[in-house]
Structure 1
Amino acid sequence: MELEVRHLRVLCAIADAGSLHKAARELGMAQPSLSTQLRRIEQTLGGRLFTRGRTGSRPTPLGHIVVSRARPLVAELAAIVAETRVAAARAAGGPRLRVGATASRALPGWLRRLRSRVPSAEPTLQMDVSANSLLCMVAEGRLDLAFVHEVEGSPLRIPAGLCVRVLVEREPQFVTLAADHPAAAQAEVRLADLAHDRWMIDSTVDGEWDGLCRVLREAGIEPDLLHGDYLTAYSLAAIGEVVTVSQPTARPRPDLAIRPLKGDPIGVRLLLAARTAAELDNGSSELEEAYWEVARQAPAYQEWLERRATGRPAQALRVVGA
């Protein structure tokens, strides 16, 4: 048996779902078929990838290595498929809405809603870790819309004449740590409880490195910081090597705990930018719906909202500049 992309997708699904039963349901397979496929994959690789028990399935050390290598490959294939579809739509001559964004779980729902509104207009997506770069692309006419986040204390450089609306005035940033980390037992984690942990942060994301350093030092913590992308950070957090900052809408995983930080010391502002207010109207309501859809699917964030009795921070996108 040779490993194929579909086998890697199976391993990622099991790791994310935390059980063969849930993974089979998400993959549209019967559980016995999935179990058989997993055994064949393990035989091919020469070792057990998951431990099975009453509480579900968790990656073994070998499984962590394989899944961490599989995730970017699966994501890259998905990106190739998406780009190919966009290219096909472009070749067909249909109108396009050029969208740019920093990372967000709201993106799939946003694109789905944009596509449903005008089936013939396949939206294109430009991802970038730099919000400032995306804003420049909008100002230069290379993008129609950009959905970005602005780290508190590190204001973005908004080009003159750009129109910006606020989706969320202040979205708290949570911490992600191993499910068996002592602090994971708390509903809210104090920074002091993480004083001896190493943090991993993506320094290529505008403002995030400086923002975390500032918050930790204000708490009297001299941080042990590692550079790394968030995919790697999540993999290392799952085995207790690091803790990392995460968006509150992050998808739950059985091997990770996503918790609010006590006092909400880290926040970002979520913005939508375009050249004109009319262009902002060409996707703002769909983005708002998509964002609150994923917010409702994130238990930690939902609990945070309920505890503060804030409901939706903004019922409609608010204009902050033009």
Structure 2
Amino acid sequence: MELEVRHLRVLCAIADTGSLHRAARELGMAQPSLSTQLRRIENTLGAPLFLRARTGCRPTPLGLAVLSRARPLVAEFAALVTETRAAAARAAGGFQLRLGATASRAIPGWLGRLRGRVPPVEPSLQMSVSANSLLAMVAEGRLDMAFVHEVEGTPLRVPPGLRARVLVEREPQFVTLAADHPAASRRQVRLADLAGERWMVDSTVDGEWDALCRVLRAAGLEAQMLHGDYLTAYSLAATGEVVTVSQPTAHPRPDLAIRPLEGDPIGVRLLLAARTETELDEVYPELEESYWAVAREAPAYLEWLGRAAPSA
């Protein structure tokens, strides 16, 4: 077996995440396949590169030496791929852009505005619940840029060499509950009003489960936490089965109430990441315009922005 750049990416992902499970998720692989690949790499080099434990993986001295050489090679190859593709697209008279994103209502408008430019940009889109996975793909040259959110209290692992531009420094996360829930009559919902409620959160979204647990503990609440995707969570919230966290730009529905939480205890930072400032300059204005367009369509968020404006 000869080592290739993809094998070096595997080693970097394991070191960065400290876990075979998390590394497999970032790389879009099954964990058994990743474990097999790591064993083959170690057999090729003749010694273990990571110490495995129940708490995760950490590099051996040899692993640290290999990683010190692997990281710049991975970064250089990613830059080569990115620059070559961009040059080829421009030579062909077009501009193709590989975008990654976590969920946001700003994305359709962003794509539409890019396609409407002169000359047009033709974007492709890869969605993921893992912001860290998308950032790793940008660093590796598999994506040109990623629009992601960073949950407060859980910093993202931004790979070396990436440039990030903050769209919103702190976007408050709202609560979504049934339209006939007693707390829905309030302009702001207190966590105490939701005592005894079941919360449904997508635990695969980087940081969200932990953030909500911290906030509920700080409020002295022992809430039942359920895992589920947000489409399911909204459907169950409409019937009163659960309450859930939502972005403030969420589209209003007659069977749901989207309300700020008193004190705004949960927040996220929205940012766009790319390899160069030039790439950010090329698409950031369309993203910013798209985000604030959907913000103006969300009554609860618009009202919240109006209250926050004097102290901003």
Tell me the TM-score normalised to structure 1 length: 0.67
Distance in 2 between residues matched to 1:120 and 1:277, nearest whole Å: 20
The whole-number CA distance in structure 1 between the counterparts of 2:158 and 2:118 is 29
Q: In the alignment, residue 294 of structure 1 is paired with which amino acid? A: V
Aligned to 1:295: 295
**Residue matched to 2:246:** 246
Q: What amino acid sits opposite 1:158 in the alignment?
A: V
- Give 3-state SS (helix, strand or coil) of 1:167's partner: strand
Q: CA deviation at 1:310?
A: 5.0
Dislocated runs of 4+, deviation >2 Å? 92-95, 118-121
Q: In structure 2, do the counterparts of structure 1 residues 118 and 100 end up closer, same or farther at CA, with 3 Å as the change threshold?
A: farther
Distance in 1, Cα, partners of 2:145 & 2:160: 16
- Kindly state the Cα deviation for residue 121 of structure 1 after the two structures are TM-superposed: 3.2
- What's the CA shift for 1:93? 8.8
Give the C-alpha shift of residue 308 in structure 1.
1.8
Match of 1:129 in 2: 129
Q: Which deviations, in whole Å up to 9, do the C-alpha atoms of 1:273-296 show, x marking residues without a partner?
A: 000101111210100000000000
Counterpart Cα distance in 2 of 1:121 and 1:182? 47
Quickly say closer, same or farther: Cα 1:225–1:257, change in 2 above 3 A: same
Is the partner of 2:282 in helix, strand or coil? coil
The letter of the residue matching 1:165 is R
User: What SS does the aligned partner of 1:280 have?
Assistant: helix
Identity %: 78
Match of 1:144 in 2: 144
CA distance in 2, matches of 1:210, 1:119: 44
**Residue of structure 1 in register with 2:215 after alignment:** 215
Which residue identity does 1:212 align to in structure 2?
L
Structure 2 unmatched ranges of 5 or more: 1-88
Q: CA deviation at 1:122?
A: 1.6
Q: Which runs of no fewer than 5 residues in structure 1 stay unpaired?
A: 1-88, 314-322
| Equivalent residue, structure 2, for 1:305 | 305
What are the residue-to-residue correspondences of 1:52-131 with 2, within 5 Å? 94-118=94-118, 120-131=120-131
Per-residue deviation, 1:175 = 0.1
SS at match of 2:270: strand
* Bigger Cα Rg: 2
SS in 1 for 2:269: strand
In structure 2, distance between residues paired with 1:180 and 1:299:
18
Residue type of the partner of 2:284? S
Q: Do the aligned partners of 2:179 and 2:256 also contact (CA within 8 Å) in 1?
A: yes
Q: What is the alpha-carbon distance in structure 1 between the residues aligned to residue 310 and residue 150 of structure 2?
A: 21
Give the letter aligned to residue 167 of structure 1: L
Paired position in structure 2 for 1:179 = 179
Alpha-carbon contact 2:135-2:158 (below 8 Å) kept: yes
Other structure's SS at 2:121 match:
coil
Q: Which amino acid aligns with 1:210?
A: D
* Distance in 1 between residues matched to 2:256 and 2:209, nearest whole Å: 22
CA deviation after TM superposition for structure 1 residue 307, in Å? 1.4
Q: CA RMSD in A?
A: 1.6
Residue in 1 that maps onto 2:261: 261
Once the two structures are TM-superposed, the CA of residue 267 in structure 1 deviates from its matched residue by 0.2
Number of aligned pairs? 222
Q: Is the 8 A contact 2:173 2:247 kept in 1?
A: yes
* Residue pair 2:216, 2:223 contacting (<8 A) in 1 also: yes
The aligned counterpart of 2:203 is 203
SS at match of 2:137: helix
Q: 2:114, 2:120 within 8 Å by CA — same for their partners in 1?
A: no
Question: Which residue in the other structure is 2:275 paired with?
Answer: 275
- CA 310–137 in structure 1, closer or farther in 2 if over 3 Å, else same: farther
